[in-house]
Chains A and B, each alone.
Chain A
Amino acid sequence: KQEVTQIPAALSVPEGENLVLNCSFTDSAIYNLQWFRQDPGKGLTSLLLIQSSQREQTSGRLNASLDKSSGRSTLYIAASQPGDSATYLCAVRRWGTSYGKLTFGQGTILTVHP
């Protein structure tokens, strides 16, 4: 059974810092990995999707890397801003999973203070 773990559970940083969120998964037979952002009481916004054949994806100040063999992904946020404050979730889709079921981590609660 796939298990996804995110570290740290919570993170508080001053504005402007670069930071790294970690995600690990137990079964390396994944189809892809996705990072999401969730604001309080809201749905999920997809940030980056990395296919299993890729090593990293970039979007603006966000960079996600994937090391499938070691079961790890990191989300790097450059020059953090208060608007980045949210819960960040990673999710993996396993090869052969019917209809693309996602397994989510518990999330990292990020607070960026001015």
Chain B
Amino acid sequence: GAVVSQHPSRVICKSGTSVKIECRSLDFQATTMFWYRQFPKKSLMLMATSNEGSKATYEQGVEKDKFLINHASLTLSTLTVTSAHPEDSSFYICSATERAGGTQYFGPGTRLLVL
């Protein structure tokens, strides 16, 4: 089956620093990747949708200058949390799909803790 990986799986950083999270599709080409955020005991909240080679589409209320998304190739998308603050601490999950409307395959998630 299709596999999506995320790196790192866990990161702790100081307030004010930037953190980059990678999402990779290992055995398929992902035309579209999605970034979600999940708070404890809550459901997934879509942050943005990215298509290879174009700018990401952000959901309402998500700061695009705060959460920088780059989808430079068909197998890699990155999410950079800039000037992280404790309220950015969360579980970030990416998903990838080969085609628009196709099955989304989810990564294992990255837990971010900002001190």
Contacts and interface: CB of A to CB of B under 8 A. Distances in A.
Interface residues of B, number: 26
A94 B95 CA distance: 17
B104 A104 contact: no
A98 B57 CA distance: 10
Contacts of B44: 44, 89, 104
B49 A42 contact: no
A46 B105 contact: yes
B97 A100 contact: yes
Given A98-B57, A99-B49, A99-B51, A44 B102 contact: no
Contacts of B107: 43
Interface in A53-68: none
Interface of A: 31, 34, 36, 41-46, 49, 89, 93, 97-102, 104-107
Interface of B: 4, 6, 32, 34, 42-44, 46, 49, 51, 57, 91, 93, 95, 97, 100-109, 111
